[in-house]
Amino acid sequence: MISDMKDIKFTIFKQLKLKEMIKKDAEWNAEWGPTANMVLAETRNFAVNELVPSNIIGDRTGVRFHGDSFVEVPECYHKMWKVMSEEGYIAMTEDPDFGGMNMPHLLAMGCSELMTGGNFAFMMYPGLTRAMGNLLLEYGDHVQKDYVHDLFNGNIAGTMLLTEPDAGSDLGAVKTEAAHQNDSEYVLNGEKIFISNGEHNLTDNILHPVLARIEDAPPGTKGLSLFLVPKVLMNGVKNGIKCTGIEHKMGIHGNGTCTMTLNNATGYIIGKPGEGMRIMFSLMNEARIMVASQGLATGAVGYEYALKYAKERIQGRHYSNFADQSADSVPIIQHPDVKRNLIHMKSLTEGMRGLLYYAANLIDRAKVTDCEMYRGKLEGMLDLLTPLLKGYITERGYECADLAMQVYGGVGYTQEFPIEQLVRDGRITRIYEGTTGIQALTLIARNLFLKKGAVLFDLLIEIEKTLAEYKTADKLPRFHTEFKFALDKLSHLITLVGQKLQSGHLETVLTYATKIMMCIGDVMVAWQLLWKCGIDPAKYNVQARYFILHELQNTVGVIGTITENINEADIIPESVFK
Ligand SMILES: Cc1cc2nc3c(=O)[nH]c(=O)nc-3n(C[C@H](O)[C@H](O)[C@H](O)COP(=O)(O)OP(=O)(O)OC[C@H]3O[C@@H](n4cnc5c(N)ncnc54)[C@H](O)[C@@H]3O)c2cc1C
């Protein structure tokens, strides 16, 4: 089972109007105008025929560590890697001069969701490989850029080496050392843990971007630099980086999570000393959006499975015949509580899909505009939204997968049915690439107030603009006023948060950061559902009405509670835990 193709197409073609947008770029128009539908259909076939069947095999087989830095992926992964490489799926949006497909991000997001929903443990291999290529394209010197082609066509794979035993959320604590040799060359020593794709046998060479500290560099993130550490050096000699073990983890068994030891490894600095975190952020932002897509796919696939099961599973009498012992049992989809669970999943996944694809489309819109100032606004909005996409969508996507298990009942908890694996696999999305709490801190304490709030203001204008057309045509349902009410309450709360931060009163704001992020996400989902409903009420009215009249009312309550309590000094004193 994979995500709902109908809503994917609606979001791409009707809501975000791919074909209108690509007319502004002659190459895009010529290439993708006639083929966009076909590409989605082909990607769906690949996902259904290759990725989905290999998902369960990958889970049961897992990666195997044979010692001496040899990590073996499940056998069926090799065929998928070959298809990804040959069909250009690794670098869908990238420059054809480097082996990319030059696909609009909006269309690529659709393909990516389909494939991620099919098997996201596998999709992490191409995902980080592409991100590594993009990092080198943007910041690498001419020698480093020579690797990009091989990354994009799958000859070499990529990773990201940030985490250490004492440096997880706080990367400022990174201890790996880099000693200067000559020119751009350094020698690195240290240990990195939890490294996805750190070692595997899909490719002969793997490129590692490693965060490390040059001797005498200042403490904290300011003292970090970034190094390119290839598994095999350009002269064919094996480098001093090894996988010394893999984690035995809850899910994504097909993806190796490796401990990597750097023992006099040769590394080439990317950018300048001290620029490590800034440069790494370009890779991390791409990875955060990739994880948001995993979160969406987790929820969306959960919904599809639950829907199918709810139509097939016969259990209990219809509530209208409850007292009639001789009445036939009905499919569980006829029970109102099951229907409520299903509409909860459906409205959330369709709203989150709108939001994530909207963000992807910001990149495309920035590319096709001639106006520098407008481009800056679009890029700013993507910057603002990135931690929200990662934090909110992974939380709510997981909530949907959990509800899917509820719809399955007891069998959902067993290995004979797919939800058990989905829930195990999906759980990591809320942790890696920065936990939900860390995304919330970034959003609340930094991104909401980028350019003194001007970026947020731009987003609010976009919300108005996207709905104005339907409002004027009287196509928005009556309950759009409830959305406006929630948006106003949220805007007021954000103003209060800004004041608190400015006056240095952090404690309560930080206590509520995750909750505020979730409220913002709910309002954004409501916006997306209203937008879809404005275009096609017959298709989206029930979801929009459910979410806005039920879920968003809870959100308004939470916003109210936080607003009332924001002036409290310390609502959870540490002494309570003594
Ligand atoms: C399967 C898997 C794959 C991974 N892949 C990679 C990879 O490819 N490359 C890589 O570099 N890393 C990777 N990681 C590491 C991952 O990014 C970290 O686990 C994650 O960022 C959290 O760091 P930590 O585990 O050290 O938790 P900690 O930082 O110890 O956090 C523990 C808890 O404290 C909270 N917390 C910490 N600091 C704060 C704060 N200042 N304010 C509020 N709350 C805070 C966190 O939200 C969390 O709930 C992976 C991890 C796993 C499990």
Tens digit of each residue's pLDDT (9 = 90 or more) over 20-43? 999 999 999 999 999 999 999 999
Q: Residue 553: inside a domain, yes or no?
A: yes
Atom number in ligand 1 closest to CA 435: 47
Q: Give yes or no for residue 572 having a pLDDT over 90.
A: no
Atom number in ligand 1 closest to CA 433: 17
**What pLDDT sits at residue 8?**
98
- CB 232 near ligand 1, within 6 Å: no
What is the residue with the minimal CA distance to atom 21 of ligand 1?
A: 434
Per-residue model confidence as pLDDT tens digits over 352-390:
999 999 999 999 999 999 999 999 999 999 999 999 999
Domain match, 360 and 266 both? no
Residue 483 DSSP class: H
**What pLDDT sits at residue 14?**
98
The residue type found at 176 is T
What is the residue with the minimal CA distance to atom 11 of ligand 1?
A: 162
Gyration radius from the chain CA atoms: 24
Domain match, 198 and 88 both? no
CA 509 – CA 504 distance, rounded (Å): 10
Helix (H/G/I), strand (E/B), else coil: 398: helix
Mean pLDDT over residues 160-173, rounded? 97
- For 109-178, the DSSP string reads HHHHHHHHHH-HHHHHHHHHHHHHHHHHHHH--HHHHTTHHHHHTTSEEE--B--BTTBSS-GGG---EE
Determine whether 433 is an active site residue. Answer: yes
Q: Residue 464: inside a domain, yes or no?
A: yes
Domain match, 41 and 60 both? yes
Q: Give yes or no for residue 108 having a pLDDT over 80.
A: yes
Q: Residue 501: inside a domain, yes or no?
A: yes
CATH of the domain at 185: 2.40.110.20
CA angle 495, 169, 267 (to 5 degrees): 125
Domain match, 162 and 226 both? yes
Per-residue model confidence as pLDDT tens digits over 392-419:
999 999 999 999 999 999 999 999 999 9
CA 257 – CA 200 distance, rounded (Å): 10
Residue ranges in 473-506 assigned as alpha helix (H) = 480-502
CATH of the domain at 86: 1.10.540.10
Q: Residue 461: inside a domain, yes or no?
A: yes
Per-residue model confidence as pLDDT tens digits over 441-451:
999 999 999 99
CA 399 – CA 344 distance, rounded (Å): 10
Helix (H/G/I), strand (E/B), else coil: 179: strand
Distance 435 CA to ligand 1 centre (A): 6
Q: Give yes or no for residue 569 having a pLDDT over 80.
A: no
Closest CA to 128 of 257, 305, 302: 257
Report the chain's mean pLDDT, rounded to a whole number.
Answer: 96
Q: Give yes or no for residue 93 having a pLDDT over 90.
A: yes
Six-digit token pair at 368? 């096709």
Residue ending a domain, choose from 91, 117, 152: 152
Domain match, 494 and 372 both? yes
Q: Give yes or no for residue 570 having a pLDDT over 80.
A: no
Q: Residue 498: inside a domain, yes or no?
A: yes
Domain match, 141 and 187 both? no
Q: Give yes or no for residue 506 having a pLDDT over 90.
A: no
Domain match, 246 and 195 both? yes
Distance 229 CA to ligand 1 centre (A): 23
Sign of CA dihedral 292, 293, 297, 298: negative
Domain match, 174 and 213 both? yes
Per-residue model confidence as pLDDT tens digits over 445-470:
999 999 999 999 999 999 999 999 88
Q: Residue 31: inside a domain, yes or no?
A: yes
Closest CA to 228 of 332, 169, 152, 151: 151
Helix (H/G/I), strand (E/B), else coil: 25: coil
Total domains present in the chain? 3
CA angle 512, 518, 522 (to 5 degrees): 140
Per-residue model confidence as pLDDT tens digits over 428-443:
999 999 999 999 999 9
Percent of the chain with pLDDT strictly greater than 90: 93
Distance from CA of residue 29 to its chain's centroid? 27
**What pLDDT sits at residue 505?**
85
Distance 341 CA to ligand 1 centre (A): 31
Helix (H/G/I), strand (E/B), else coil: 213: strand
Predicted confidence band of residue 166 (pLDDT cuts 50, 70, 90): very high
Q: Give yes or no for residue 471 having a pLDDT over 90.
A: no
* Range of the structural domain that residue 555 is part of: 280-296+353-400+422-565
Domain match, 368 and 476 both? yes
Six-digit token pair at 285? 């932002």
Domain match, 392 and 519 both? yes
The continuous run of DSSP H or E covering 454 comes out as helix 454-472
Six-digit token pair at 415? 């290995």
Count helices and strands (H / E) in the chain: 20, 11
Residue ending a domain, choose from 243, 274, 305: 274
Q: Residue 406: inside a domain, yes or no?
A: no
Q: Residue 320: inside a domain, yes or no?
A: no
CA 206 – CA 215 distance, rounded (Å): 26
- CB 432 near ligand 1, within 6 Å: yes
Distance 268 CA to ligand 1 centre (A): 26
CA angle 372, 374, 378 (to 5 degrees): 115
The residue type found at 562 is I
Residue 433 DSSP class: S
* DSSP β-bridge partners for residue 268: 185, 228
Domain match, 502 and 433 both? yes
Q: Give yes or no for residue 571 having a pLDDT over 90.
A: no
Mean pLDDT over residues 158-163, rounded? 98
CB 497 within 8 A of CB 566: yes
Residue ending a domain, choose from 152, 179, 205: 152
Domain match, 93 and 221 both? no
